[in-house]
A and B are shown apart, each in its own frame.
Chain A
Amino acid sequence: MLHLVTAVIKPHKLDDVKEALKGVGVQGMTVSEVKGFGRQGGHTETYRGAEYTIDFVPKVKVEVVCGTEDAEKVADAIATAAQTGKIGDGKIWMTEVSRLARIRTGEMGTDAV
């Protein structure tokens, strides 16, 4: 049984999260640059005399596929490493993964983690 743990975190926390995941035995992850906002809303800036709002803030999305029994451990590791206590720390969620394969060798399921 496999799960996908997805987290949206602050960009500067990526190194800490990566180390924490290694610490719980995670050997791979996918990372992408994203933009987002939560409940805090945006703020206004002025550019050449004209006002504009900045809503979206740069974030990093981390995705890890792991065995279902490890999913809680992985999520906790991310949460602890990514937290700063300040607005914009991000969110973590999980979904089930119905199929996983390693492209190079053809291994399937938990062997492919």
Chain B
Amino acid sequence: MKRKLLIGAGLVGAALLLLANPAAAQEAEEVADPATQIVLDNIFVFVCGVLVFFMQAGFALVEAGLTRAKNVSNIMMKNLMDMAAGVLAFALVGYGIGFGGSELLGGWFGFGLGITGIEDPAQAAVLNLSPATFFFFQAAFAAAAATIVSGAMAERTKFKSYFIYSFALTALIYPIVLRWTWGGGWLAQLDIPFSDFAGSTIVHATGGWAALAGAMVLGPRLGKYGKDGKARAIPGHNVPFVVIGAIILFIGWFGFNPGSELGADNLVPQLAVKTLLAACAGAVVAMVVNWAKDGKPDVTMAANGLLAGLVSITAPVGAVETWAAIVIGGIGGGIVVLAVAFFDRARVDDPVGAISVHGVCGTWGTLSIAFFARYDDAFLGREDAGLFYGGGIDQLSTQALFVGVHFVFVFGAAFLLFQTIKATVGLRVTEEEELAGLDVEEHGHVGYALDSGGSSSLGTSSSSNKPVSV
């Protein structure tokens, strides 16, 4: 088996050399006349925003599939409200903090009434984008960051407590990270500025580290750890949901990454191709690593690998060559399998692998820029910034500073927030409720009323409570 793996790796390496392109430069070209280009840019970024909003369906399906049927209504509500309440919180408060006109504290905070300019299409918010387009696109990203956490805290978190956290993330924590970076704050003002093209750290690791804080403060699900301290499997109730959800996320990512070009130019297809290849590499490598480690290829782990590849390429997608996208995505796929096992051993119960996919792989993707950056992605300000291209370790210092400070802030703020919620309104449901399932207690109805053919006296459906899951 090992020899086959080595031969396979060698063949893949040889194939990747075919994609190397040492002499190419990368120039964004916009060929339409200026007025047409403005329209193209706005419509394109708007459509990408729609694709990113569609990812909400993907998140919902993945999280539902990986958790038990007795909690499915609850996880659906958390996902729905992450988007609905999150977008409102972002619109009313967060967008202004992230992108508003007033920079405060040397770029560590900000303020603005950003959403008030929405109805003026002539005014440019960023590049050619009108305020409405830019807000729409950013709101989709905010909703994505928020919804990452519900998976890690699934099956034992009180809905109202989760709602409070979700509002705080999109109103305050995420926008502060935005201000530091895309909002032009201190990380953008460094001599060697940060690079994170579409948000491996800004969006995904923000969700990932908040998820880590939440899962730690919550504690593991009942029955997750046996008396011997070993992690026990709590299988999800719907494998097709997991895969379909992952594929929907994959499709949505073609809005997430290419849309972050913030314009319809000739680089967009290249961003899409790199996103595509990284995703596929992530899925295959995750499957292989999981297969070698655990003996059989777990479908849900391969789905996590697809997402890990996507998260990993999200930061470097503007700066790296095509072959590097495959490598970065593939490494992400390998990392995610090991990270899931790590957090299980560390007694951090993460039912969907959100911390591993978004936190760990988000960080990997952001750091990979320091090694693989070949092109100027409009953040780097120069070509060949990567260590492998002679760029030295300058970018590595900045990327490390970036991910380090980001982790301390997001994890710290989220940890404090969850502890506060726990001490006030309570964070976790009661033991009885957790065992019976959250759906009826939190929302008044089950998710799958499969045999309620008109008869109200048959209230609950027994098939939604599989006996093997504790």
Which residues does A use to contact B, with CB under 8 Å?
10-12, 14-15, 31, 33-35, 42, 45-47, 52-60, 86
Contacts and interface: CB of A to CB of B under 8 A. Distances in A.
A11 B460 CA distance: 14
A56 B432 contact: no
A85 B182 CA distance: 57
A45 B457 contact: no
A34 B459 contact: no
B144 to A, nearest CB: 29
Interface centre among B457, B458, B462 (most CB of A within 10 A): B462
Interface of B: 222-223, 432, 435, 440, 444-445, 456-460, 462-468, 470
A52 B466 contact: no
A33 B432 contact: no
A46 B467 CA distance: 26
9 contacts: A11-B467, A12-B223, A12-B470, A42-B459, A45-B440, A55-B459, A56-B459, A60-B467, A86-B432
Contacts of A56: 457-460, 462
A31 B467 contact: yes
B462 A47 contact: no
A52 B460 CA distance: 11
Contacts of B432: 86
A58 B463 CA distance: 8
Given A11-B467, A15-B470, A45-B440, 13 more contacts: A12-B435, A14-B467, A33-B466, A33-B467, A45-B444, A47-B445, A52-B459, A54-B460, A55-B458, A56-B458, A56-B462, A58-B460, A58-B465
B92 to A, nearest CB: 29
A33 B223 contact: no
Contacts of B222: 12
B456 to A, nearest CB: 4
Contacts of A86: 432
Contact of B462 (A14, A33, A42, A55): A33
Contacts of B465: 11, 33, 58
Interface centre among A53, A56, A59 (most CB of B within 10 A): A56
Contacts of B466: 11, 33
The 3 closest A-B pairs by CB, nearest first: A54-B459, A58-B465, A52-B456
